[in-house]
């Protein structure tokens, strides 16, 4: 067994963001504190958080993938579909700052576990809730309430993950491994898109929620085993599972909120998230309406598969640029600028009049370029606040979540008012991306703020 484990670990070190010697992408990392993860824990926790993020987004993507089928069955308009899709982000935005502060204060491992159990159960129960809602004659309010509560539960995951990584990894590892864990979100969309397209065709939209929920239950069982193992080890060593530092109890909000670098990063995160969630929520509907004969697997999988690749590599690309003598601030600006402006250009070029292959290629490139964000603003919270990463990431995610309900809601009503003029939606999104790039280039930073 030991020989087998050694063989697996040796092979995994060829591709994983850290190896048995503690090296991260060829650079010797400084040792973690005695309260941080050891080598084995670092591997297990990082993989678990990566897969958890995948399940989180697979659950979140289930409704956007199934919304066209659900809308036909329940006779929903685009405006109604937009309201239901955006409702998730109402709850998601509400919990971000609270979740981050809670994780920084008490530790994110158990908070993440309990909240994940809630959204997993809600995912499995979604078809049943909607079927019952139809019997009452008021399916829309029930669907909106369900999505709000699901958003509240899912809102704890990312801030908790940010806090967990920040507390258990040294400064060299934080950005890279956190970026790796974040990349799991896009893998989740690939899983939901690939499996979901097949399930929708052969077994109906209800089967998608059941499948994703069952897969998430398997993940949470494995997560609980890792959590219990780590907890027992810390107890036997007289170490807390995750000790809250004194600095985490008193966050200097004024210093953070009066710093232009924080607001520049927030604007960039808002505009980039708006573009991402517009594609995330409306892409299946766009292709279903404009290219009804197209293979759903292609447009549900390829764009998300592209962003998986770039989001995993983006932190290492940024590290490579930084290692060549460029300041971390300049590196963040370059990578984030390429992401925002690249997406803006591609969204401007997209037209429903183009052949399916051209449109799919443009969307795929747009999502691939979005992945660069994981080497830019996405890891700014670890730059800004080493001791308050969960809380700051929660604030960032709140700005991103606002686009989820505002942008998705507005897009739905624009489509309803303009008789499905998708070009107007794409152009408005592109203009916002350009604005975000300009603001971040002028005022962005990667220096510690608090």
What's the pLDDT tens digit per position in 332-342? 999 999 999 99
**Does residue 326 sit within a domain?**
yes
Structure letter (DSSP) for residue 33: P
pLDDT interval class at 419 (50, 70, 90): confident
Give me the percent of the chain exceeding a pLDDT of 90: 54
Give the pLDDT mean for 18-32.
39
Rounded to whole angstroms, the Cα distance separating 345 from 366 reads: 9
HSE-CB for 241 with a 13 A CA cutoff? 18
Q: How far apart are CA 414 and CA 424, in angstroms?
A: 8
In order, the DSSP letters of 362-429 are: HHHHHHHHHGGGGGTGGGHHHHH-TTSHHHHHHHHHHHHHHHHHHHHHHHHHHHHHTTS-HHHHHHHH
Is 169 a member of any domain?
Answer: yes
Which one is predicted more confidently, 152 or 253?
152
Across the range 219-231, mean pLDDT stands at 92
More confident residue, 259 or 243: 259
Task: For the chain, give the percent of residues with pLDDT over 70.
Answer: 88
For residue 236, give the H/E element and its range: helix 205-236
Residue scoring higher pLDDT (440 or 241) = 440
State the residue range of the domain holding 284: 35-443
Q: What is the mean pLDDT of the segment spanning 410-419? A: 87
Using pLDDT thresholds of 50, 70 and 90, give the confidence band for residue 11.
very low
Please give the pLDDT value at position 264: 97
CATH number at residue 330: 1.20.1250.20
Q: What is the pLDDT of residue 14?
A: 39
Q: Any idea which residue has 């808002």 for tokens?
A: 270
The structure's pTM equals 0.75
Strand, coil or helix: what is 24?
A: strand
4 belongs to a structural domain? no
pLDDT of residue 342: 98
User: Is residue 244 a part of any domain in this protein?
Assistant: yes
Q: Is residue 237's pLDDT more than 60?
A: no
Report yes or no: 309 and 371 within 8 Å, Cβ to Cβ: yes
pLDDT at 334: 97
Residue 22 lies in a domain: no
**Does 15 fall in a domain?**
no
pLDDT at res. 345: 97
Mean pLDDT for the stretch of residues 165-182: 81
| CB-based contacts of 201, cutoff 8 Å, min separation 6 | 296
Size (the chain), residues: 450
423 pLDDT exceeds 70? yes
Residue 285 lies in a domain: yes
Structure tokens belonging to residue 442: 């002028």
Tell me the average pLDDT across 317-338.
94
| Residue-level pLDDT at 8 | 35
Neighbours of 26 (CB within 10 A): 10
Residue 49 has pLDDT above 90, yes or no: yes
Mean pLDDT for 189-197 is 90
pLDDT digits (tens, 9 = 90+) for 252-306: 889 999 999 999 999 999 999 999 989 988 998 899 889 998 988 899 889 989 9
Largest CA distance in the chain: 65
Indicate whether 33 pLDDT > 70: no
Number of domains making up the chain? 1
CB atoms within 10 A of CB 324: 7
Give domain status of residue 282, yes or no.
yes
Note whether 169 and 111 are within 8 A (CB).
no
pLDDT band at 35 (very low <50, low <70, confident <90, very high): low
End-to-end CA distance of the chain: 46
User: Which residues on neighbouring strands pair with residue 27, listed in sequence order?
Assistant: 24
Decide: 299 and 287 in contact? Cβ < 8 Å: yes
């Amino acid at each position: 067994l030991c020989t087998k484990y050694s063989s697996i670990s040796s092979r995994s070190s060829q591709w994983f963001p850290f190896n048995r010697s503690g090296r991260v992408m060829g650079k010797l990392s400084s040792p973690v504190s005695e309260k941080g993860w050891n080598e084995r824990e670092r591997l297990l926790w990082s993989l678990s958080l990566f897969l958890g993020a995948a399940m989180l987004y697979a659950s979140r993507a289930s409704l956007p993938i199934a919304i066209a089928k659900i809308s036909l069955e329940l006779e929903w308009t685009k405006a109604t579909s937009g309201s239901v899709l955006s409702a998730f982000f109402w709850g998601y935005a509400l919990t971000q700052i609270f979740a981050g502060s809670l994780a920084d204060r008490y530790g994110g491992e158990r908070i993440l576990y309990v909240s994940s159990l809630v959204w997993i159960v809600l995912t499995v129960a979604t078809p049943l809730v909607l079927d019952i809602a139809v019997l009452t004659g008021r399916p829309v309010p029930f669907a909106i309430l369900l999505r709000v509560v699901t958003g509240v539960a899912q809102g704890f995951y990312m801030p908790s993950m940010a806090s967990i990584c920040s507390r258990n990894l040294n400064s060299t590892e934080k950005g890279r491994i956190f970026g790796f864990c974040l990349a799991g979100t896009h893998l989740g969309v690939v899983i939901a898109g690939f499996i979901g397209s097949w399930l929708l065709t052969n077994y109906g939209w209800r089967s998608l929620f059941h499948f994703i929920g069952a897969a998430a239950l398997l993940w949470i069982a494995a997560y609980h085993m890792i959590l219990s193992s780590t907890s027992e080890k810390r107890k036997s060593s007289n170490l807390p599972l995750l000790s809250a530092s004194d600095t985490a109890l008193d966050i200097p909000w004024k210093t953070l909120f009066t710093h232009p670098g924080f607001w520049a990063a927030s604007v960039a995160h808002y505009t980039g998230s708006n573009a991402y969630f517009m594609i995330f929520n409306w892409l299946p509907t766009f292709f279903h309406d404009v290219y009804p004969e197209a293979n759903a697997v292609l447009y549900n999988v390829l764009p998300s598969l592209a962003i998986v690749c770039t989001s995993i590599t983006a932190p290492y690309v940024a590290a490579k640029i930084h290692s060549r003598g460029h300041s971390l601030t300049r590196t963040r600006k370059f990578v984030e600028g390429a992401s925002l402006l690249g997406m803006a250009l591609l969204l401007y070029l997209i037209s429903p009049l183009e052949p399916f292959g051209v449109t799919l290629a443009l969307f795929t490139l747009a999502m691939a370029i979005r992945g660069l964000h994981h080497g830019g603003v996405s890891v700014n919270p670890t730059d800004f606040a080493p001791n308050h990463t969960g809380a700051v990431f929660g604030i960032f995610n709140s700005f991103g979540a606002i686009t989820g309900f505002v942008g998705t809601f507005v897009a739905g009503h624009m489509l309803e008012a303009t008789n499905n003029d998708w070009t107007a939606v794409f152009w408005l999104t592109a203009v916002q991306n350009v604005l975000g790039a300009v603001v971040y280039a002028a005022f962005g930073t990667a220096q510690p703020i608090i």
